[in-house]
C-alpha cells in the first residue's frame, strides 16, 4: 500500500471516529436536553399564591402575615367571580329554588300561628301565600320561557298587597325578580346543558384558585390548593375558557374532538358570559405569579399522589439501595474474577461458569425481581428470622445479583491485564498468593474494576422492575432501617407515569424525578471516576 493510500485511509478513519463521537453527543443532547429542561421546571418556575400558601401550611415555610394579606387581597379580587357564578347557578339549579320557596312558605305559616292571628285571616293569608309559592315553583319547573314569564308576572301581581309587606313572603318576590333576569338571558330548554357546563366551570375555577371561601376542607392535599405554578394556571385557564366536544363534521365519518369557547357558545348571552373575559384578562392579578427557585425540592417530602413537595425520601432510598447493592456485588464479583483468572483452569467447568455469567448479564431485570421475591422474601428471610415484607435489604441483594455479572466480567479483564511480572516479583520477594493479590494485583487492576463498578452503579440506581415487588413503595414514611421498604426515584417516576392522569396534571414531577435520577447517577459516577483517577496516578507514581 502506498503512503498516499495509507494517508487517505488514516484520514478516513479519523473522520469516521470524529463523526461517531459527534453523532453520539448529538443523540445524547437530543434525548437528554428536553428531559433535563422539563425536569428543571420542577425547581425553577413561576410560583403562584397557592404555592406560597401550600408551602406555609405543609412545610411551615414563608411569612404567615404576608401570605395572609395576599390571601385577603386575592379574595377581594375573586369575590365578583364567585358572586357571578352563584347568581347564575341560582337561576339554573331550580330544584334548590323550589325547596327554598317551600321553606319560606313554611316559615311564614309558623309566624302566623305564633302571632295568633284570627283563624279566618290565617287561612286567607296561607291560601294566598300558597298560591304565590305554587306560581313561583311552576315558573322554576317549566322550560317554556313565555310560560315562565307569565307565572312570574302573576307572582308580581301580589307584590303590592299590604298583607305581605315586611313578611317572609317578600323574599319570594325577590326570588321572582332574580329569576326573571335569568329567564331573559338563558334558553330554558338548555337547562341541563347549562348545569353540566356549570359543573365543569366550577371545577376549573377550583383548580385555578383552590376551594371557594367557606367550602369544606378537602381531605386530600391535592384538592386543598389551586394552581401552584404558572404553567398549571395556563393549562387550567384553557380548560375554563374552552370546552371539549366531539363533533361529527361529515356524515359517516368518525367524530373529531374540538375546542368550543364557553363565552361565545356555551354561555353566550347569559349573565355568566362576562366571567370568562374577566378571568382571562386579570389572570395574573388573580394568581400573583412570581419567579421561584424551589431548591428544597431535593429535600422535601411529597404529598400522597406526588402533587406537591419534593423528592427527598426518593433520593435517600435510591442512594441506600444502590450502595447496598454495590456493597454486596463488588467484593463477591472481585473474588469471583480472581478465582476465574488465577485458579480456574480453562476447562469445561470454567467455560460453563463464564457462559452462565454472560447469560445472566442479558437476563431481563424483571426475572431478577421475581427471583428476589421467591428466594429472599418467600424462602430465605423467613428461615433466618427476618420479615418477608419488602425491604431495602432484599432490594439491595437482588440488585447486587443483577449487576454481579458486569462486575465479574470487568474485574476479570482488569486482573488479567495486570502484567505477570508484577506477580512474579512479589512472589520472588517472599509474599504469599493472597498478599500478592491484595497488595500488587488488586491495586494495579483497580482502575479497570472501578469502570465496571461505574457501569453497575448506573444500572442499579435506574432499575425499576427488580424492586417492584421486594423493596419499593409509592408512599410512606422514610425508612428507619434496611429492613423497611423505601421510595425510589425510578419507581416514583413509574407510579406517576401509570397513575390516573397524574402525569398529565403534574408532568414537572415526573421529569423532575428523572432529572434528579440522572444527576444522582452522574454524581456517583463522578465520585467513582475521581477515585479511579487518583488510583491510576498513584500507580504511575505521581
Taking 70 as the threshold, does the pLDDT of residue 253 lie above it? yes
Contact call for residues 478 and 313 (beta carbons, < 8 A): yes
**Which has the higher per-residue pLDDT, 57 or 534?**
57
Q: Rounded distance, CA 368 to CA 396, Å?
A: 12
Q: Give the predicted TM-score (pTM) of the model.
A: 0.78
The predicted model gives 446-475 an average pLDDT of: 86
Q: What is the DSSP string of 362-382?
A: TS-HHHHHHHHIIIIIIIIHH
255-295 pLDDT, tens per residue?
A: 888 888 988 888 888 888 899 999 999 999 999 999 999 99
Three-state SS string over 123-143 comes to HHHHHHHHHHHHHHHHHHHCC
What pLDDT was estimated at residue 503? 62
The predicted model gives 400-427 an average pLDDT of: 89
Contact call for residues 487 and 415 (beta carbons, < 8 A): no
How far is residue 441 from each of residues 63, 318, 428, measured CA to CA in Å?
61, 32, 14
User: What DSSP state is assigned to residue 229?
Assistant: B
The predicted model gives 404-415 an average pLDDT of: 90
Q: Rounded distance, CA 63 to CA 53, Å?
A: 10
- Tell me the domain boundaries of the chain: 47-84+189-293, 93-185, 312-540
373-400 pLDDT, tens per residue?
A: 999 999 999 998 888 889 999 999 999 9
Taking 60 as the threshold, does the pLDDT of residue 542 lie above it? no
Q: Rounded distance, CA 216 to CA 97, Å?
A: 22
Contact call for residues 534 and 446 (beta carbons, < 8 A): no
Q: How confident is the model at residue 501 (pLDDT cuts 50, 70, 90)?
A: low
What superfamily would CATH give domain 312-540? MetI-like (1.10.3720.10)
The 3-state DSSP class for residue 27 equals helix
How far is residue 522 from each of residues 9, 283, 299, 455, 515, measured CA to CA in Å?
37, 40, 18, 11, 10
197-220 pLDDT, tens per residue?
A: 889 999 999 999 998 888 888 888
Taking 60 as the threshold, does the pLDDT of residue 518 lie above it? yes
φ, ψ of residue 168 in degrees (nearest 5) = -60, -30
The predicted model gives 512-522 an average pLDDT of: 89
Taking 90 as the threshold, does the pLDDT of residue 241 lie above it? yes
Taking 80 as the threshold, does the pLDDT of residue 496 lie above it? yes
What pLDDT was estimated at residue 541? 62
Cell numbers for 190: 338548555
Taking 80 as the threshold, does the pLDDT of residue 539 lie above it? no
Chain position carrying cell 330548554: 189
Taking 80 as the threshold, does the pLDDT of residue 504 lie above it? no
What is the chain's mean pLDDT, rounded?
Answer: 86
How far is residue 379 from each of residues 207, 235, 465, measured CA to CA in Å?
49, 50, 20
- Give helix 489-498 / helix 312-338 axis angle, nearest 10°: 120
30-67 pLDDT, tens per residue?
A: 888 888 888 898 899 999 999 999 999 989 988 999 99
Taking 90 as the threshold, does the pLDDT of residue 169 lie above it? no
The 3-state DSSP class for residue 531 equals helix
List the single range of 108-112, 235-239, 283-287, 538-542 with lowest mean pLDDT: 538-542
What pLDDT was estimated at residue 321? 93
Cell numbers for 334: 472481585
Amino acid at each position: 500500500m502506498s503512503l498516499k493510500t495509507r494517508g487517505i485511509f488514516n484520514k478516513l478513519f479519523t473522520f469516521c471516529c470524529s463523526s461517531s463521537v459527534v453523532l453520539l453527543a448529538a443523540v445524547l443532547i437530543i434525548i437528554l436536553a428536553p428531559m433535563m429542561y422539563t425536569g428543571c421546571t420542577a425547581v425553577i418556575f413561576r410560583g403562584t399564591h397557592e404555592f406560597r400558601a401550600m408551602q406555609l401550611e405543609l412545610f411551615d415555610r414563608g411569612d404567615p402575615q404576608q401570605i395572609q394579606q395576599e390571601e385577603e387581597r386575592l379574595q377581594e379580587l375573586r369575590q365578583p367571580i364567585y358572586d357571578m357564578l352563584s347568581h347564575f347557578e341560582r337561576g339554573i339549579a331550580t330544584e334548590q329554588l323550589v325547596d327554598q320557596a317551600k321553606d319560606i312558605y313554611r316559615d311564614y305559616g309558623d309566624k302566623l300561628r305564633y302571632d295568633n292571628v284570627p283563624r279566618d285571616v290565617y287561612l286567607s293569608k296561607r291560601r294566598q301565600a300558597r298560591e304565590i309559592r305554587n306560581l313561583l315553583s311552576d315558573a322554576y319547573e317549566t322550560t317554556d320561557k313565555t310560560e315562565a314569564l307569565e307565572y312570574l308576572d302573576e307572582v308580581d301581581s301580589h307584590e303590592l298587597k299590604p298583607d305581605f309587606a315586611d313578611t317572609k313572603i317578600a323574599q319570594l318576590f325577590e326570588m321572582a325578580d332574580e329569576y326573571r333576569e335569568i329567564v331573559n338571558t338563558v334558553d330554558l330548554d338548555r337547562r341541563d346543558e347549562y348545569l353540566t357546563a356549570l359543573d365543569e366551570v366550577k371545577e376549573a375555577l377550583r383548580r385555578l384558585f383552590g376551594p371557594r371561601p367557606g367550602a369544606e376542607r378537602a381531605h386530600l392535599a391535592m384538592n386543598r390548593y389551586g394552581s401552584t405554578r404558572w404553567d398549571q394556571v395556563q393549562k387550567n385557564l384553557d380548560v375554563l375558557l374552552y370546552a371539549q366536544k366531539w363533533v361529527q363534521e361529515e356524515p359517516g365519518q368518525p367524530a373529531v374532538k374540538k375546542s368550543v369557547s364557553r363565552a361565545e357558545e356555551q354561555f353566550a348571552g347569559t349573565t355568566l358570559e362576562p366571567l370568562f373575559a374577566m378571568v382571562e384578562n386579570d389572570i395574573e392579578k388573580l394568581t400573583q405569579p412570581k419567579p421561584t427557585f424551589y431548591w428544597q425540592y431535593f429535600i422535601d417530602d411529597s404529598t400522597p399522589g406526588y402533587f406537591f413537595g419534593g423528592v427527598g425520601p426518593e433520593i435517600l432510598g435510591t442512594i441506600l439501595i444502590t450502595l447496598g447493592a454495590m456493597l454486596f456485588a463488588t467484593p463477591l464479583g472481585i473474588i469471583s474474577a480472581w478465582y476465574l483468572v488465577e485458579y480456574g483452569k480453562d476447562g469445561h467447568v470454567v467455560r460453563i461458569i463464564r457462559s452462565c455469567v454472560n447469560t445472566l448479564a442479558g437476563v431481563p431485570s424483571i426475572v431478577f425481581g421475581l427471583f428476589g421475591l421467591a428466594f429472599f422474601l418467600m424462602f430465605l428471610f423467613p428461615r433466618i428470622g427476618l420479615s418477608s415484607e419488602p425491604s431495602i435489604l432484599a432490594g439491595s441483594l437482588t440488585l447486587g445479583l443483577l449487576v454481579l455479572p458486569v462486575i465479574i466480567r470487568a474485574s476479570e479483564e482488569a486482573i488479567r491485564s495486570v502484567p505477570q511480572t508484577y506477580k512474579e516479583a512479589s512472589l520472588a520477594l517472599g509474599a504469599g498468593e493472597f498478599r500478592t493479590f491484595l497488595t500488587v494485583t488488586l491495586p494495579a487492576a483497580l482502575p479497570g474494576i472501578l469502570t465496571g463498578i461505574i457501569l453497575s452503579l448506573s444500572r442499579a440506581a435506574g432499575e425499576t422492575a427488580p424492586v417492584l415487588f421486594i423493596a419499593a413503595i409509592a408512599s410512606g414514611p422514610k425508612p428507619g432501617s434496611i429492613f423497611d421498604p423505601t421510595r425510589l426515584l425510578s419507581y416514583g417516576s413509574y407510579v406517576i407515569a401509570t397513575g390516573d392522569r397524574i402525569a398529565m396534571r403534574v408532568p414537572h414531577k415526573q421529569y423532575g424525578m428523572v432529572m434528579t435520577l440522572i444527576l444522582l447517577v452522574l454524581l456517583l459516577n463522578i465520585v467513582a471516576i475521581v477515585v479511579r483517577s487518583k488510583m491510576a496516578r498513584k500507580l504511575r507514581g505521581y
